[in-house]
Chain A
């Protein structure tokens, strides 16, 4: 399958839904994006926007029983991950694509020594002997900055703090030096000071190993410091995508404006109030036909609820889906607070 040489992963028109008692919930509705070699792509959105589902779809880790992949493809290494057999997929998970989860308190097996949890993938994918895997586990723990690693490998997860556990999870993810690391809200469950440490660690390791990273988060502050590009997701769709500079300083979609206007900036003038986004995201078991943000958008027009807008391209990297960019639409300026940051 054809892939752009710069890209390590391409998602095309991904459709994922879940069958629940309340009906079919359409979590991801036609998501398309590329991941370049060595870059960090952030996928930003509120809870329920489909960002985690997108991430888990790449690993094919959504619950088998009720997940329906309605269409699309995820190209990696010239192959469509969605078409691989479970056996083939097992060889991708770990050595090719690895994942760090949101809650370090629950993502380690409480009954297994930390060292063995790291060694598991070393033994499976790299065919290491028991003793070699043990040595390597110690090295990995050192790499992720866990002091006294020789002793720590023999301990159980409950003997680690949250931040330390997340380091262990990162060590597990990086054990086989994967080409892609998917970090699903890796800092959300941690204290702010620990968050910074974990982000620094991720960035440092990325440089060392040269992994591409997909960073899932709802925290724009996190994004600014580590990502190269940002994809903003809303109601199962990417509504804006661009480099960090472009999305932060020249956002083109009212939802992105809303997101940016709702982060408190220490430099901002006190007279500029934080502007919350009114309302809440639509019900995904019956998603709106048109632009899903219409109901909350202060600039909504008659056309908005009728049809999802096409993407308007602003630069090689930057595009957004919004009817305001149609030539017939009135000219609208972003709110003062956003303009102020330009």
Chain B
């Protein structure tokens, strides 16, 4: 066998200087972790819509809702009881003649406060506990982990109920009651991440360059765990909102005249037969919040940590 070669222009066979690293030159500006995550999140329509809806709910609850209505959520007017939605009372009135539109948004505000406070607790207790446990390792880790295992043996809503039996109900006490054992999941996740990260090369490199333990945690380990923490918060917040609503439903949550979405739903459910609108409106806002947080959480998880899809 012999290969037959075509006739070609001799100039083609002149040497070409080609830079082997040409292909490795970075074509555009570097895409950072968060930017990259945002690009991925943008492809997830459900998450994006959820984000938009959440922003809208926040804006309505805190600014727009109260601003465009002249009614007050607490003023009782017994002559205006059980009015269905009208031009004056957009969501109708309740059994004391209070305006439901402003009440629903006041309740949303309370629910959101509680969700955000619980998130803060998760960060201050859960992240710190997990970081300490994972970073120090050894005996400290052992003891802290046994503690978590015991706490996990106690149902958290039961703890919240017990706490609320003792504490005076208020936004802060409710959040504390909910957060009392709620942080353990965050602690576990952060610990796992720390254990995994601290033995990776970049952490070892930083150590071998003489970085202090604190610096290592603060500059390397925490930033590298942020994605995970953010994802987790997206599930803590609706969890806390749910827990508060649950407590309100069994009479241990926010007390009148204050309202939360949970207490509004509870009141509404009691009058379902004749005045169903009292239930539907707060329930709608509540479910919307839950769905959006869940979808956004799922989206963020896929965007920030594609390997952790469970």
Contacts and interface: CB of A to CB of B under 8 A. Distances in A.
A279 B23 contact: yes
Given A313-B3, A316-B1, A328 B13 contact: yes
B200 interface: no
Given A301-B12, A301-B13, A306-B12, A312 B3 contact: yes
Q: Mostly helix, strand, loop or mixed at chain A's interface? A: loop
Interface residues of B, number: 22
B18 interface: yes
B13 A323 contact: yes
Interface in B1-52: 1-3, 5-8, 10-24
Contact of A302 (B1, B5, B13, B19): B13
Given A301-B15, A302-B11, A330-B13, A310 B5 contact: yes
Contacts of A295: 18-20, 22-23
Interface in A291-319: 294-297, 299-306, 310-313, 316, 319
Given A313-B1, A313-B3, A328-B8, A280 B23 contact: yes
A295 B22 CA distance: 7
A1 interface: no
A304 to B, nearest CB: 7
Contacts of A306: 12
Interface in A264-300: 278-280, 282-283, 294-297, 299-300
Given A301-B15, A302-B16, A311-B3, A280 B8 contact: no
A302 B130 CA distance: 59
A303 B12 CA distance: 5
Given A310-B5, A311-B3, A326 B20 contact: no
B13 A313 contact: no
A302 B23 contact: no
Contacts, number: 70
B20 A279 contact: yes
Contacts of B23: 279-280, 282-283, 295
A220 to B, nearest CB: 21
A326 B11 contact: no
A329 interface: yes
A63 interface: no
Given A301-B13, A302-B13, A302-B14, A296 B20 contact: yes
Nearest to B15: A301
Nearest to A288: B23
A327 interface: yes
Nearest to A324: B13
B304 to A, nearest CB: 16
B12 A300 contact: no
A88 to B, nearest CB: 35
A333 to B, nearest CB: 15
Interface in A162-194: none
Residue of B13, B17, B19, B22 with highest tally of chain A CB at under 10 A:
B13
Contacts of A282: 23
A313 B2 contact: yes
A241 to B, nearest CB: 13
A311 B3 CA distance: 7
Contacts of B3: 310-313, 319, 325
B267 to A, nearest CB: 48
Nearest to B12: A303
A294 B19 CA distance: 10
Contacts of B17: 300
B19 to A, nearest CB: 8
B5 A327 contact: yes
B134 to A, nearest CB: 25
A226 B19 CA distance: 36
Given A310-B5, A313-B2, A328 B16 contact: no
B18 A297 contact: yes
Nearest to A299: B15
Nearest to A298: B20
Contacts of A319: 3
13 contacts: A278-B20, A283-B23, A296-B20, A299-B15, A301-B14, A301-B15, A302-B13, A303-B12, A304-B16, A316-B1, A319-B3, A328-B13, A330-B13
Instruction: Across the A-B interface, give the 9 residue pairs with the lowest CB-CB distance, nearest first.
Output: A279-B20, A278-B20, A303-B12, A313-B1, A312-B3, A300-B18, A296-B20, A302-B12, A300-B16
Interface of A: 278-280, 282-283, 294-297, 299-306, 310-313, 316, 319, 323, 325-330
Given A300-B18, A313-B1, A328-B7, 10 more contacts: A279-B20, A280-B23, A295-B22, A300-B15, A300-B17, A301-B13, A301-B15, A306-B12, A312-B5, A316-B1
